Chains A and B, each alone.
Chain A
Amino acid sequence: MKNNVFLLLSVIAVLVISSCKKDVDHPSHPSNEGEVITTLRLTFVDSANTSDVRVAEFRDPDGPGGIAYDRFDTIRLARNSTYYTQVLLLNETVTPADTISNEVLQESDEHLLCYTPGGISATVVVTDIDSNNLPIGLRSSWYTTGAGNGTMLVVLKHQPGTKNGNCSTGETDVEVGFPVAVN
């Protein structure tokens, strides 16, 4: 009987000690933790004049929540032009910044970027494709016609196993509605 008691007690002791305690007053730095997308940067190169490079960016330096975004640009384009457009996604909470768009490219068969213009005469044609011949959207061509102001909704969807070429499935990783001015 006594042996049983000691056995039980030692089992309990081991179980109690095995639940280790973390350092409460020295929490690890948030930039070591997880992954946030802080920045969406669109770079436009004029097909007629490759030295004409335009950048539009949305940046929330600590990700969703916390402090508010500190940069939200208007996309400014010239009418009747064609732009080669590239998407860059960054995590700028770490130094050097982590280029999330590279990871998106690596898992391109699970990701899709969609572009929806609102109130402007511009069309977007995605020019990159994944291993299943479905669009990715990190690269695209933008065709502007008349001048005007409007919006362009840029959406990145994560669609593991459900990617079919449109943005109706999956979970939204990025959704930014840029104001657009075509002059």
Chain B
Amino acid sequence: MLDDHDRTRLEYAAIYIKETGQSALSDSAGHYRIEGLCDGIYTVRVSHLGCDDLLQSVRIKGSTNMDFHPEHHTEDLQTVYIAASRIADRTTQTTVLLDKQELERSRGLTLGESLHEISGVTTLNTGNSIAKPVIHGLHSNRILVLNNGIRQESQQWGSEHAPEIDPFIASRLGVVKGAAGVRYGPDAIAGVVIAEPAPLPDSAGVGGEVNMVGATNGRSGTVSGTVEGNHAVLPALSWRLQGTLKKSGYVRALDYYLKNTGFVEADFSGALGWEKERYGAELYYSQFNTTLGIFSGAHIGNLTDLQIAFDSETPLDTCGFSYAIDRPYQQIRHDLLKANAWVSTGTAGKLSVVFARQYNLRNEYDKHLPLNDSLAGLNRPQLLYEIISYTTDVMWEHRAVGGFTGSIGVSGLWQANATEGRLFIPNFENDRYGAFLIERFKQPTYELELGIRYDAQHFSAYRWIYTNGDYLLTNPQRDFSNLSGTAGFIWKADSSLTLSFNAGTAWRAPSVAELYSSGLHHGAAAVEFGDPNLRTEKAFNTILNVQYRKGSNFQAEATFYCNPIRDFIYLRPELPPTLTIRGAFPTFYYRQTDALLSGIDVSAQYRPWRKMSVTGRGSLLRARNVRDNEWLVMMPADRVELEVDFLPTARPRVRENVVGIVAQYVVEQTRVPANSDFVAPPPAYLLFHLEASTTLQWNRQQLVVGLSVRNLLNSSYRDYLDRFRYYTDAMGRNIVLRLRMPLAFTKAEKN
């Protein structure tokens, strides 16, 4: 509840909903809460001493955050500003979504990098173009990526296989921290990454936006556009088209270009929705295409080459700038087709069905063509993976009954994976079925949540084995099943303090690489052997989140977690090395142990003056291999970040001005197991970044301008979780300019 003139918070304003007769009073900070409303349009009356009553029609869809701005003076009652935005249902797990400013800043980055402003989230990089999100130290098959609500199915097991999602599709980008097996199904051992488009427009008009991003390092350019609409003649129908083009050349470290680090990307998506009061349906299709060069200095033949690369200060293979993409490179395509429908089951609830088909094609081209000319002439990828996945989810959500809300559902996955080229992982088919029930008991000051889920999975591989002088096709089959549970509690002490606690389990079946890989891991200079008898990995995660907000100038959040994982699958180096025709390679076996990951994420924001804001973030992680009493390898180092923002006064044409400087300090990772890596972790580093943004307004047109300078001092550094740290420094200074222009082709209809 804000005063329309000076935005002071209005205490004791009465909010009354005409249709239901519900009412609430705003507290001392101007906050209010009305619960138990169904989706729909309501008439709201806001009364406050000294104000005229404000009568407003309001559309509620899910949890809705609504600011009211009653006029304090009757004499200038002309405009009433209403802002409404949908917020996520509060989960008992810790959910962190990028706020508006963070989302703006992330534009142009890959999905993995976009999330780096969330404490506890880091990235596992393979150079500049491949970034996998890491939540609380875990990544790949241990986190689930939801692409428009659909679990992303691709070759997640590979550490150089980044999520195939265009972040421009998403208006909600964030993570759920902690095991979330019941709600989202297997694999959500460490958390969930959420990339979700905005809901389709629900009022008549055609609009859109254009994004343009240019960056100096790599001389990259990105253009992304969206058009969406809804028409008064057919209000049920709405649509959206979106597309992104991206191109980058070789990036530069402090002193040299990294050869063959360019990439191109072309993505598009389309959505069509039909929504009535009692039913609705939506069709969505997206395609992601990229061709990305792999830094050629990192493609090595054996340990001797690796040693030469380590010993060299700068990469052996340097060059000038180019956009050319040569071998080695990857070519990836991901298609998602999603159809969903819902129908209101009277006052009892809502039934929804979601069907999705995903197609993922990954071609990996080695540095060199085959020596054999006829093979070389085909120019085939040395590795090809094609995976097709169908998923279906049926869910029924029931409305509040005596304080209880909940949902029950079933889901199915059918998947087939085909490979060609060098033998690394076999073909397989994978079927999985699951059923879950989650119930929540809501009271004004607390909420309780309990959930249970059962999944069963059948996995069938088609695997060549070399025996007695020839290859033999075998068909090993495995069945996995598991029960998961969740229990959560939220306590809203008052409008400034909220506590949420969750204890949840999640599991995952061993991945195909963990079961059956048997060969030289190209580029990793290691021979890796899977174990066909691995058991499922089970996580039991407890997470406590404390949010505190004092007035409008201080807010803080802390997350404490403890994630013991039974039968944690990891690569253990073992003797003797494997002797091959390319020399001796260190040999790694997939083994299981019990792991314990625990840590703290904190963030706090303080606004000492109106024109200044200070934000601090930090994360700390301790990851133990309990059975062997040693540290786990490849865990992100502890880090802190401090950001100081200046907020110059808004003017009519220049609004939302921010100029900030970010200092990021990452300590050296000293908690590593002995004899498990080729070189010691790199030293600690301190980076500075500059961030500035503003919104320009002329007439009705807006232009959001952002400028970032990453690695302001052009420091040379290497990060422990960058797989290319063996060969090269990380990227040097990068100046990024972002433009975003919202478009309105027809004037939106006024209510």
Contact = CB atoms under 8 A, between A and B. Distances in A.
Contacts of B359: 16, 19
Interface residues of B, number: 67
A21 B519 contact: no
Contact of B388 (A21, A25, A66): A21
Interface centre among A27, A72, A103 (most CB of B within 10 A): A27
Contact of A168 (B234, B308, B337, B421): B308
A103 B368 contact: no
B514 interface: no
Given A28-B420, A65-B520, A175 B582 contact: yes
Contact of B302 (A69, A98, A106, A175): A175
A177 B370 CA distance: 24
Nearest to A161: B317
A109 interface: no
Interface centre among A8, A24, A39 (most CB of B within 10 A): A24
Given A15-B285, A29-B471, A106-B373, A24 B527 contact: no
A19 B335 contact: yes
A33 B420 contact: yes
A158 B237 CA distance: 60
Nearest to B527: A65
A48 interface: no
A152 to B, nearest CB: 14
A172 interface: yes
A22 B418 CA distance: 6
A140 interface: no
Interface string B573-596: 000001111110100000000000
A100 B371 contact: yes
Interface stretch (A56-64, A125-133, A142-150): A56-64
Interface in A134-174: 155, 158, 160, 162, 168-169, 171-174
A24 B578 contact: no
B518 interface: yes
Nearest to A59: B581
Interface centre among A39, A103, A177 (most CB of B within 10 A): A103
Contacts of B285: 12, 15-16
A62 to B, nearest CB: 4
B437 to A, nearest CB: 33
A53 B440 CA distance: 83
B729 to A, nearest CB: 21
Contact of B386 (A9, A16, A22, A177): A22
A171 B367 contact: yes
A179 to B, nearest CB: 12
Nearest to A58: B581
Contacts of B287: 15
B337 A66 contact: no
Contacts of A85: none
B231 interface: yes
Interface in B250-302: 270, 272, 283, 285, 287, 299-302
Interface in B512-531: 518-520, 527-529
Interface string B366-406: 01101111010000001000101000000000000000000
A1 B231 contact: yes
B243 interface: no
Contacts of A55: none
A97 interface: no
B422 A25 contact: no
A85 B335 CA distance: 55
A103 to B, nearest CB: 3
Interface stretch (B425-433, B600-608, B683-691): B425-433
Interface centre among B417, B421, B466 (most CB of A within 10 A): B466
A72 B579 CA distance: 10
A38 B462 contact: no
Contacts of A123: none
A40 interface: yes
A37 interface: yes
A104 interface: yes
B534 to A, nearest CB: 18
A84 to B, nearest CB: 23
Interface centre among B386, B528, B585 (most CB of A within 10 A): B386
A31 interface: yes
A134 to B, nearest CB: 18
Given A28-B420, A31-B471, A64-B582, A175 B304 contact: yes
B416 A171 contact: no
Interface in B543-586: 578-583, 585
Interface string A1-45: 100010011001001100101111111111101110111100000
B581 A60 contact: yes
A46 interface: no
Contact of B372 (A93, A103, A168): A103
Contacts of A12: 270, 283, 285, 337
A64 B301 CA distance: 12
A167 to B, nearest CB: 9
B409 to A, nearest CB: 26
A170 B729 CA distance: 21
Nearest to A106: B373
18 contacts: A5-B272, A12-B283, A15-B287, A16-B285, A24-B417, A27-B462, A33-B421, A33-B423, A34-B422, A60-B581, A62-B466, A62-B471, A65-B528, A107-B371, A171-B305, A171-B368, A172-B302, A174-B582
Given A16-B285, A62-B466, A172-B583, 18 more contacts: A8-B239, A19-B361, A24-B427, A24-B429, A27-B419, A30-B466, A64-B578, A66-B518, A67-B466, A69-B580, A93-B471, A103-B373, A155-B304, A158-B368, A171-B305, A172-B305, A175-B302, A177-B583
